[in-house]
Amino acid sequence: MTSGESENPASQVTIPAGRVTPVAGVWHTLLFIFIMLGLAVLQGQPQLSKGVQLPGRIILYLSTVIYEFLLLGYVWLFGLRRYRVTLGEIIGGKWLRWRDFWQDIGIALMFWIVVVAVLVVLSLSLQFSGLESAKFLLPQTTLELGVFLVLVCSAGFCEEVIFRGYLQRQFTAWTGNVPAGIALQAVVFGAAHLYQGGKAVFVLSIYGGMFGILAAMRQSLRPGIIQHTAQDAMSGIAGLFLRKYQYLQIIKF
C-alpha cells in the first residue's frame, strides 16, 4: 500500500466491484444535514418569511450565493477532498464533444416537460402555487433580475452537486440501494425548503426525487444542472414580467 492510499479512509476497506462507496464520513454528512435544516427552520420564522421585512433583495440574493458556495465548500473541503473524490467524478465527467453538450441540452428540455407536467398535477391536487410560496424571492426590478440570475446559476450548480451528487451517493452507499439513496436525498432537499411551508416541502421532495432519478439514469448531473438553472431563471423572468404588466393579480407583491 502506498502512502497516498493510506491517507484515504475509503481505501482501507475492500469494496466489492460495482458497489457505490461513501464520499465523506458519517459525521460530515450528519453535521451538514443538521446545519442546513437548522437554517431552514430559522428562515421559516415569521419575521423572516415576509418579504416586507426581508433585507433588500439584492443583499438577500448575494448572501444566498455565498451560502450556497459555503455549503459546497464544506462538502468539498472536509468531505470529498479527504476521500480523494473530485467534483468532476461527482458531476459525472465532462463534455468531450459538442455532441455531448447538445445531447445534455436535449435531455434537459425533455426532462423539463416531464417536470412541468408533474408540478402542474401536484399544484392542482394540493391547491398549491410554487410562485405564491416563494413570491418574496422573486425580482421586482431589472437590476434585481440580473443578480437573481447569478443566484439561480449558483443554486443550480451547487444544489445539484450537493443533493444529487454528494448526498445521493452517500445515502446510496449507506443503504446499498439506489432508490433509497434517491428518496433520502429528495426528503432532505424538500426539508431544506421548510421556510416555504409544508406543501412546498412535499412538492419539492417529489421534485428532488425526479432530479435524483435523472442523475442515476444518466450517471451525470449535467442535464439536471441545466434544467434546474433554466427553470429557476424562467420563474424569475416570468415573475418580473407578469408583475410589471400587472398580469399576475393573484399574487400581491
Note the Cα 123 to chain centre separation in Å.
20
Name the more confident of 216 and 124. 216
Q: Confirm if 39 and 71 have CB atoms less than 8 A apart.
A: no
- pLDDT(247) > 60: no
How confident is the model over 10-54, as pLDDT tens digits? 444 333 445 789 999 999 999 999 998 888 887 765 544 444 445
In angstroms, the Cα distances linking 103 to 131, 219, 226 are: 30, 14, 12
* Amino acid 42: pLDDT: 79
Reduced DSSP (H G I as helix, E B as strand, rest coil) percent helix, strand, coil of the chain, to 5: 75, 0, 25
Q: HSE, CB side, 13 Å, CA atoms: give it for residue 184.
A: 20
For every residue of 142-177, DSSP letters joined together read: HHHHHHHHHHHHHHHHHHIIIIIIIIHHHHHHHHT-
The mean of the pLDDT values for the chain is 84
Given a contact cutoff of 8 angstroms between Cβ atoms, the answer to whether 208 and 223 are in contact is no
Question: Per residue in 144-201, pLDDT tens?
Answer: 999 999 999 999 999 999 999 999 999 999 999 999 999 999 999 999 988 777 888 9
* Neighbour tally for 134: CB within 10 Å: 17
Whether the CB-CB separation of 211 and 164 falls below 8 Å is answered with yes
- Per-position DSSP letters for 172-237, written without gaps between them: HHHHT-HHHHHHHHHHHHHHTTGGG-HHHHHHHHHHHHHHHHHHHHHT-SHHHHHHHHHHHHHHHH
From CA 179, how far away is CA 166, in angstroms rounded? 15
DSSP state of 136: G
Query: Where do the structural domains in the chain lie, given as residue ranges?
Result: 23-244
Q: Say if CB 212 and CB 223 are below 8 A apart.
A: no
Count of alpha carbons within 13 Å of 121, Cβ hemisphere only?
8
Residue pair 166/90 in contact by the 8 Å Cβ criterion: yes
pLDDT for 248 equals: 47
Residues in the chain: 253
Angle between helices 198-218 and 222-244 (to 10 degrees): 140
**How far apart (Å, rounded) are the C-alpha atoms in residues 160 and 101?**
18
Is residue 104 a contact partner of residue 208, using CB atoms and an 8 Å limit? Answer: no
Average confidence (pLDDT) over 105-129? 90
Q: What is the pLDDT of residue 7?
A: 45
